[in-house]
C-alpha cells in the first residue's frame, strides 16, 4: 500500500512539473497517462483533481495547456470504460438536450425530430473522409428530408499530430461569430478541403476565401475569444460516450433517446438507427 501511495505522489508531481515547465514534455505525459488510465481508469479522477487544484495558480496560457490535458484524460477515460456502455439506445433528459442545442450550431434549425451530431477534429483523416463522403448531407437532404437535422460539434484532440486541432476548431467558432451559421459550415468545408499540411496560413486563407476578415480571425484565435465555446462543446461528448473522432450521436428530440456511433461508418448504419428511432 505504501508503495502504491508513493507512486501516486510521484505521478501527481510529474503532472504538476509538466504544467509548470517552460517547454512541457507533452508526448511523454500523454504516453504515461494513456498507459496508466488503461491499466486503472480511476487514475483519471486523480489527474483531473490534481489539475483543478493548480488551475487557479497558473498563467492564462497554462490554463489552455491544463484544458488540453483534461480533454485528453477525459477522452482516454471514456475510451477505456466504453465497454460498460449499453449496446442500444440510452435516454437523455430534455434539460440536457436543451443545453446541447443551445451550445452547438444546428444546420437549418427546424422541427425535424431526429438530430445527428458529428463530433469532429480537423486533423482527423477519418473525419475528413466522412465529410468528403457527404454522409450527413445525404441523410438530411436525400434519405430523410424533413425528418433529420444535423450539427457539427467541435471535438479537437490534443495529442501528437493534432497540434493545431484546437486552433482550427476555434477558427470555426470565430467564423460563426463573424458571419453566422452558414459561414461556420463553409469554413468547416474549406478546412477539410485544404487541410493536407495544417498551418495557421491555411486557416487564414480559408477565412479569406469565405469573405471573413483574416485579421479579426487571427485576433479571435490569439486572444482565446472562442476558447470557451469549444470547451463547452468538448464537455458535451463525455456524457454521450463519444470516445474518439469522428463520433456521431443520433438523438430523437421527441423523447431524448439516443445512440452513439464510433468512427466513420457507412450511411446504411446511420439509416438503420434513424429508422428505429422514428418507429419508436
Average pLDDT of the residues of the chain: 82
Provide the pLDDT for residue 13.
Answer: 58
Provide the pLDDT for residue 3.
Answer: 41
CB contact at 8 A, 65 and 19 = yes
Q: Which residues contact 8 (CB under 8 A, 6 or more apart)?
A: 46
Q: What is the rounded CA–CA span in Å between residue 157 and residue 176?
A: 21
Higher pLDDT pick, 58 / 145: 145
**DSSP H stretches of helix in the chain:** 2-20, 26-39, 43-55, 60-81, 94-102, 125-132, 135-138, 165-194, 200-209, 214-222, 227-239, 267-279
Nearest to 210 by CA among 220, 202, 200: 202
Provide the pLDDT for residue 8.
Answer: 54
Question: pLDDT digit string (tens) for 234-268?
Answer: 888 777 878 778 999 999 998 888 998 888 888 99
Q: Look-up: residue for cell 473525419?
A: 127
Q: Per-residue pLDDT for 2 more than 50?
A: no
Question: pLDDT digit string (tens) for 12-40?
Answer: 656 666 555 655 667 777 888 888 888 88
CB contact at 8 A, 43 and 32 = no
Instruction: DSSP letter for 263, please.
Output: S
Provide the pLDDT for residue 244.
Answer: 79
Q: What percent of the chain has pLDDT over 90?
A: 27
Q: What is the rounded CA–CA span in Å between residue 206 and residue 171?
A: 10
Length, in residues, of the chain? 280
Query: Coil, helix or strand for 151?
Result: strand
Number of Cβ within a 10 Å radius of residue 61: 8
Burial 68-96, CB ≥16 within 10 A → b, else e: bbbbbbbbbbbbbeeeeeeeebeebeeee
pTM: 0.70
Q: What is the rounded CA–CA span in Å between residue 71 and residue 14?
A: 18
Q: Per-residue pLDDT for 11 more than 70?
A: no
Q: Per-residue pLDDT for 144 more than 90?
A: yes
Q: Per-residue pLDDT for 136 more than 80?
A: yes
The band of 163, judged by pLDDT with boundaries at 50, 70 and 90, is confident
The band of 173, judged by pLDDT with boundaries at 50, 70 and 90, is very high
Give one DSSP letter per residue of 77-143, joined into a string. HHHHHGGGS-SS-EE--HHHHHHHHHTSEEET----SEEEEEEE-TT-HHHHHHHHTTHHHHIIIII
Q: Per-residue pLDDT for 85 more than 60?
A: no
Provide the pLDDT for residue 9.
Answer: 53
Amino acid at each position: 500500500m505504501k508503495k502504491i501511495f508513493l507512486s501516486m505522489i510521484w505521478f501527481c508531481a510529474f503532472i504538476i512539473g509538466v504544467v509548470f515547465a517552460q517547454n512541457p514534455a507533452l508526448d511523454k505525459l500523454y504516453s504515461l497517462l494513456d498507459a496508466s488510465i488503461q491499466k486503472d481508469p480511476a487514475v483519471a479522477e486523480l489527474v483531473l483533481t490534481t489539475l483543478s487544484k493548480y488551475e487557479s495558480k497558473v498563467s492564462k496560457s497554462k490554463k489552455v495547456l491544463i484544458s488540453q490535458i483534461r480533454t485528453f484524460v477525459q477522452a482516454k477515460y471514456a475510451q477505456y470504460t466504453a465497454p460498460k456502455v449499453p449496446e442500444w439506445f440510452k435516454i437523455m433528459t430534455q434539460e440536457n438536450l436543451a443545453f446541447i442545442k443551445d451550445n452547438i450550431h444546428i444546420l437549418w434549425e427546424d422541427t425535424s425530430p431526429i438530430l445527428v451530431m458529428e463530433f469532429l477534429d480537423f486533423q482527423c483523416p477519418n473525419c475528413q473522409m466522412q465529410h468528403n463522403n457527404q454522409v450527413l448531407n445525404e441523410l438530411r437532404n436525400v434519405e430523410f428530408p424533413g425528418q433529420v437535422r444535423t450539427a457539427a460539434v467541435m471535438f479537437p484532440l490534443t495529442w501528437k499530430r493534432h497540434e493545431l486541432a484546437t486552433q482550427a476548431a476555434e477558427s470555426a467558432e470565430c467564423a460563426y461569430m463573424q458571419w453566422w451559421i452558414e459561414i461556420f459550415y463553409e469554413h468547416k468545408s474549406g478546412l477539410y478541403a485544404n487541410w493536407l499540411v495544417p498551418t495557421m496560413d491555411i486557416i487564414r486563407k480559408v477565412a479569406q476565401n469565405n469573405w471573413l476578415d483574416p485579421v479579426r480571425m487571427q485576433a479571435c484565435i490569439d486572444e482565446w475569444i472562442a476558447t470557451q465555446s469549444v470547451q463547452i462543446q468538448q464537455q458535451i461528448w463525455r456524457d454521450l460516450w463519444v470516445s474518439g473522432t469522428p463520433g456521431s450521436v443520433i438523438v430523437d428530440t421527441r423523447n431524448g433517446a439516443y445512440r452513439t456511433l464510433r468512427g466513420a461508418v457507412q450511411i446504411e448504419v446511420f439509416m438503420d438507427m434513424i429508422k428505429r428511432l422514428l418507429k419508436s
